[in-house]
Structure 1
Amino acid sequence: MKKIVLKMAALALLEDIANGQIRRERIFREPEDLLANYDDWLMSRFRFPRPVLLELCAELRPALECHTARSQGLSVPTQVLTTLGFLATGAFQRELADRSGVCQSTLSRAMPAVWDGIIRMSSRYIKFPYNAVEQANIKAQFAATAGFPNVIGAVDCTHIAIKAPSQDEFVYVNRKHFHSINVQVICDAQMQLLNIVARWPGSTHNSFILTNSMVGNRLEAGTVRDGWLLGDRGYPLRMWLMTPLTNPNTDQERRYNDRHSRTRIIVERAIGLLKGRWRCLGRSGGMLLYRPEKVCHIVMACGVLHNVAHRHGIPLPEQHNPPLEEPDAGPVNCNPPRGAIRARQNVISSM
């Protein structure tokens, strides 16, 4: 009789649990101490060795530290490394959450705080050289590349694939017929980013982005008197922006185009490095499944981290070079200023 009563009580308990009348005890798996691994392992998954990861965690701690006594609050290292794992691989959040021993919804809430914290570091890591002292070393490094004078940066744009947005979907379709954010990158001769603009939909022309950027506005206003950017034929010729000749006829003009190309291609290599290190940005990983606003934040965070890696001299794991992007068609109805034509002719004459 006693066995029957115990059996019935057990069945009743199981029924109450199934009906939700008794709350199940939540079990949390202890997150793995990812920082305990060797540098090679950390580099392959998070792109930084342990000392740099610890430095990042310390810098982001004030913004990320969870002021709660709840046992399931994520530690700062878990938040930072799991977010870096996503940026480095583009893996699904569930896979990253399982690896770190946290639930997917918790990770989803944590990652935006991490990349927003990284973006707040941008003023220290991404700086455009507006004064002569800052420009001198950059000019010398560019000149050493192919002999092109007075270059303070190389500019280009790249498309970051996204899922079709629910609003204004058509403006995000680029000339290659997929949805994207068109991102402007300016770099120096060492492929360090001097400027990154991530806010325009894929259909936006490269030259429009530059003209409406802070760097473009300041250069147009004459902030820099003796230096220029290099852009491909998709950009308009300006006093501060040297572009290639469409139909070079003389040896000097051909040398100009050749040196221009060999110098400007550095920005394409920088974009390849950016996408190769942070593979969530490349199409090899599919597309970013977020709203455009969040994608822009992800891109900006990757730009800051690119320069963090550059500052620490961290190499990229071996990879195949990505295909170069074709330039946009030239700007419509663009009449170069006479001063810009003369400036380019002076450069050609010196070749």
Structure 2
Amino acid sequence: MADQQWLWNFRMRKQTFLELCSWLAPALQRSTTRLRAPIPVDKRVAIAIWKLATPDSYRSVAHQLGMGRLTVGAVVTQVVHAINDILFQQVIRLQDVDATVAGFSVLGFPNCGGTLDATHIPIRAPECQAAHFINSTGYFSIMLQALVDHRGHFTDIYTGWSGRALDARIL
């Protein structure tokens, strides 16, 4: 699959996907049993990324990949837990607060510990409770909130609120 197709389908480049697989392999690798061979790590990660990057249902993803709906649900849960357990502390972590405040002071913002903002991420209309996802501009979305330090590094990210939610409520 060409890199543009990877970017379109998985919302990341193939090299990024392969790197993600190598980081998550220790937590996702399963042993072969007498009953069946395990789902390979790259397929597990692909299932989870596909499900998380699209509004497809578990049933739809399972049908596309020729596996059970419950299997897809279990794989997505395992990959998300692996990401939280392995990558969260490596990628997103609070820095030394005093250094961050000093960094913002140099930029002309004294006593600032971070920059916080929220944005709407467009999604396809969900099958149920679609009205909860229509934002004030009239399109379907979920909210992403991010906290950034003085160097522009993310120190906290949260997503999941429906587009209808107000920024103040998310905060």
TM-score scaled by length of structure 2: 0.67
Match of 1:14 in 2: none
**How far off is 1:42 after superposition?**
1.0
2:32 equivalent among 64, 68, 72: 68
**How far off is 1:138 after superposition?**
5.6
Match of 1:155 in 2: 116
* % identity of equivalent residues: 22
Give the whole-Å Cα distance in 2 for the aligned partners of 1:138 and 1:83: 37
Match of 1:33 in 2: none
Runs of 4+ in structure 1 off by over 6 angstroms are none
1:104 equivalent among 69, 76, 80: 69
Give the whole-Å Cα distance in 1 for the aligned partners of 2:55 and 2:117: 23
Match of 2:139 in 1: none
1:118 equivalent among 83, 86, 89: 83
**How far off is 1:184 after superposition?**
6.2
Equivalent residues of 1:64, 1:114 under 8 A apart = yes
- The question of 1:86 aligning with 2:86 is answered no
Q: Name the SS for the 2:113 alignment partner.
A: strand
Q: Count residues in correspondence.
A: 150
Structure 2 segments unaligned to the other structure (5+ residues): 121-125, 130-135, 137-142
**CA deviation map 1:303-327 (0-9, x unaligned):** xxxxxxxxxxxxxxxxxxxx9x645
**How far off is 1:65 after superposition?**
0.9
Q: Name the SS for the 1:73 alignment partner.
A: coil
**How far off is 1:99 after superposition?**
2.5
2:19 equivalent among 43, 47, 55: 55
Give the whole-Å Cα distance in 1 for the aligned partners of 2:144 and 2:7: 26
CA distance 1:191–1:131, shift in 2 (3 Å) = closer
Match of 2:96 in 1: 130
TM-score scaled by length of structure 1: 0.36
Q: Name the SS for the 1:71 alignment partner.
A: coil
Give the whole-Å Cα distance in 2 for the aligned partners of 1:80 and 1:139: 41
What are the within-5 Å matches in structure 2 for residues 252-271 of structure 1?
Answer: none
Match of 2:10 in 1: 46
**How far off is 1:191 after superposition?**
6.1
**How far off is 1:101 after superposition?**
3.1
**CA deviation map 1:238-257 (0-9, x unaligned):** xxxxxxxxxxxxxxxxxxxx
**CA deviation map 1:156-191 (0-9, x unaligned):** 5789x9x89xxxxxxxxxxx9xxxxx9864224676
CA distance 1:131–1:156, shift in 2 (3 Å) = closer
**How far off is 1:98 after superposition?**
2.5
CA distance 1:50–1:138, shift in 2 (3 Å) = farther
**Larger relative strand fraction:** 2
Give the whole-Å Cα distance in 2 for the aligned partners of 1:196 and 1:153: 12
Equivalent residues of 1:57, 1:76 under 8 A apart = yes
Equivalent residues of 1:42, 1:48 under 8 A apart = yes
**How far off is 1:122 after superposition?**
1.0
Greater relative contact order structure (CA < 8 Å, 6+ sep): 1
**CA deviation map 1:10-55 (0-9, x unaligned):** xxxxxxxxxxxxxxxxxxxxxxxxxxx1111111121211111111
One-letter code of the match for 1:39?
D
Structure 1 segments unaligned to the other structure (5+ residues): 1-36, 165-175, 177-181, 198-274, 276-280, 285-322, 330-351
Equivalent residues of 1:66, 1:73 under 8 A apart = yes
Give the whole-Å Cα distance in 1 for the aligned partners of 2:104 and 2:50: 32
Give the whole-Å Cα distance in 2 for the aligned partners of 1:138 and 1:127: 18
